[in-house]
Structure formats: structure tokens, C-alpha cells
Structure 1
Amino acid sequence: MNPLPADTCTAFREGTRLTTGTRAQLVRELRADPTGVLVFEDASGRVVDLDWRDTAQPAPEEPQPPRRRGRPRLGVTAREVTLLPRHWDWLARQPGGASQALRRLVDEARRADGGRTAQRTAQERCYRAMSALAGDYPGFEDAARQLFAGDMAAFGEAVAGWPVDVHTYLVTLARVREDDLA
């Protein structure tokens, strides 16, 4: 189970975690004094801007996007793929057609990946937040080296002297999440 759901954000002020929740929840809770608040999207570690204006008025309903091609009930999404003619020729000769062959190739590549992509995603997520929260903290460079070396024990030690909320948040972001593996 992920410690931070995919759609949440976390707010900090001067190294102290204020709250975690959806963007709308953060706006409601922090609107009274948003000064110096840094908000991070937990899924990516990116700093996000919140609309601090009064949201008591319901937003006008946005028009529904046009239906997309594919089979949405099955989770199939149509997207564009650019390949050379020889690749299309090879795909056309595969049993089940091009789509089935591509799915098979992607599944094989994911199995062969061994979690490297998920680990890199977690490292990048953590580094984004770490740069914004702790870029001027002592030992930042060492912590970044340990993070990208994949030595989580040494990373934990490198950030141990930082404010406890920052330390806890960064260690949480550095963990591989279930949605990183998807």
C-alpha cells in the first residue's frame, strides 16, 4: 500500500509539513495564510501552484471531452506510434496483428526491466522535492549522490539531520510506489 495516494499533495512552510490532501482540501485549509507555503504533488515530487482565490462559487461545468478511440471499458487507449516501414512490415507478419505484438513486446520489456524504471521514477520524484525543500541544507549534495546510487540506508543517514518533516517526506517519496510499477 502506498503511504501517499496518487492524487494527493503535501504542503510545507519553512521545513514543517502543514497538511496533506487533495488540492481543493489544501486550498480550504491554508487559504487564510498561504504565505511561504510550498505545495508538492506527491506522485511526482513537483512543486504545484494552487489557486488561492475564493472557491466557494462552483466552477462552471466544463464541456465533456470528445470520445476517444479505443476500448475504454477494457482500458485500451488509442495513441499514435511512429515506426519505420520495416518495423510496420515485421509487426504486420506477427500473429494477432500489430497491437497484440506491441503489447507482448512491452510486457516482455517490463519484465526484463527488473524495477529499474520504477526506482528511477522514485529517485526523480524525491530529488524534485528535495531540491525545492532542502537545496540549501548542509549535506544536500551527499544526500543526492546516495539517492541516485540507490543506497537508501546512506540516504536516510544523509538527511537525518534535516527537519524531521522534510526527512520523513523525502524518505517516503524515495520509496518505490505501486503506481511506479504500473
Structure 2
Amino acid sequence: MPQGAGVTAFAGTRLIARGAPLDVALAVKAALEGGESASVLVFDDRDARPVEFDLRGRPADVAARLAADAAWQSQTEESAQAQPDEPDAETPRGRGRPKLGVVAREVTLLPRHWDWLAEQPGGASVVLRRLVESARHASESKDRVRASREAVHRFMTAMAGNLPGYEEALRALYAGERTRFEAWSVDWPEDVRNYVRELARDAFA
């Protein structure tokens, strides 16, 4: 898990710890060693994905493993995202011109698309980049709604599947009806209800 990503731990339906992964891991370890009998689940606050900690050994052992895991994941993500910088195929890089991080890849279009691109100022690459950026901005709101709903669904499946109103709340979630969603979840255990509503902050935009 990347450094800075917050997590939340529940024992049954009670929130027992929240914060940085190491802090929560040590709190969970202390709770289990103190006799906590309820099932403990930990969730990533970004997307409600389950998080597992290796709690064996001393607190220092737990901290060392978490640091190693975070470093490995960070390195893996950087390697996966790394792309060789190549000059724009239509704009050769002159002496002293800094690399811009552009990547040359094949694009397949119909002839009429190429004809249209050829008529645009700046060349095909400039136009395509501008179109991609425009599409990205246009979809940001929808992407936030989708990600929020997926996180809520994931958490509800793990924590609220047996609670009254679960199916109705889920239908209200995907229908974009915040009032109905909150009405069906109002009687859920307080910590579960509060956390699921936090996850749903962008689900009804």
C-alpha cells in the first residue's frame, strides 16, 4: 500500500482504528492480543478494498514488513508506469530541446479521420492529444461517481450484506437516490453507517 493511504479497521461492526497503515496494524494487533473476539476487517479508505496485515512478531517486525511491502509496491507501480521517452513522430527533437515524455505508438483511424486531422492546425499528434485531454476532463465527474459507487458496493457487501435494507440501499445507490439510500441505512450500526456514507460522498453527484 502506498505511503499516505489511510485505512480503517472494524471489529465486527465497531470501528476500532483509523489512520496510517502502520498505526492501524499495531492497533489491530493490540486488540487481537487483548482478546478481541469479533472478526476484524481492514479497508483501504480510497476504494474500500480489503487490506491484510502480517501481524506476527513484535511491533518492530510488523513495521519492517509494512515498510518493505510499501517500498516493493511503489517500485512495482513505477516500473509498470515507466515508458521510454521518445520524440513526437511529427516534431523531431532538436538539439537542446528537452524530452516531453511523449510516447510514439500506432493509432489506427479511418481515411476520413486522417483527412480531417490533416486539415487541423498543429498536426495530428497535437490534435489527438487535445481531444484526449478534453475527453478526460469530460469524464472526470462520471469516473468519480462510478468509483465511489464501486467502493460503497464493495464495503456494503463485506459489512452490511446481512443488515436490513441492504438490497434496497444498494438499488438506491445505483439509482442515484441519496435520500432513499440514507433512509434504508439509517438503522445500521453507527460506525458502519457513517463509514458507508463517507464512501458515498461522490456517489450521487
Q: Which TM-score bucket, shorter chain as reference?
A: 0.7 to 0.9
Does the 8 Å contact 1:13/1:37 carry over to 2? Answer: yes
Query: Contact between 2:83 and 2:103, CA under 8 Å: does it hold in 1?
Result: no
TM-score (norm 2): 0.66
Q: Normalised by the size of structure 1, how large is the TM-score?
A: 0.74
Q: 1:165 to 1:92 in 2, by over 3 A?
A: same
Unaligned runs of 5+ in 2: 87-99
Structure whose residues are more often helix by fraction? 2
Segments ≥4 residues shifted beyond 2 Å: 32-35, 57-71, 76-103, 110-114
1:53 equivalent among 56, 71, 80: 56
1:27 aligns to 2:25 (yes or no): yes
More strand by share: 1
Give RMSD over aligned pairs.
3.5
Output the CA distance in 1 between the equivalents of 2:103 and 2:187: 47
The more displaced of 152-161 and 95-104 is 95-104
Question: Does residue 39 of structure 1 match 2:42?
Answer: yes
Please give the secondary structure, in 1, of the residue aligned with 2:148: helix
1:69 aligns with 2:84: yes
Alignment partners' CA distance in 1, 2:10 and 2:104:
39
The one-letter code matched in structure 2 to 1:84 is T
Match of 1:10 in 2: 8
1:84 maps to what in 2?
A: 108
Q: Which has the higher contact order (CA 8 A, sep 6+)?
A: 1
- Would the aligned equivalents of 2:148 and 2:200 in 1 still touch at CA under 8 Å? yes
**Structure 1 counterpart of 2:45, one-letter code:** D
The answer to whether the 8 Å contact 2:9/2:41 transfers is yes
User: Identity over the aligned pairs, expressed in percent?
Assistant: 33
Aligned positions, number:
169
One-letter amino acid matched to 2:13: G
The one-character-per-residue Cα deviations of 1:122-161 (angstroms, maximum 9, x if unpaired) are: 1111110111010111111000001111111111111001
**How much has 1:32 moved relative to structure 2?**
2.4
Which SS does the other structure have where 2:10 is aligned? strand
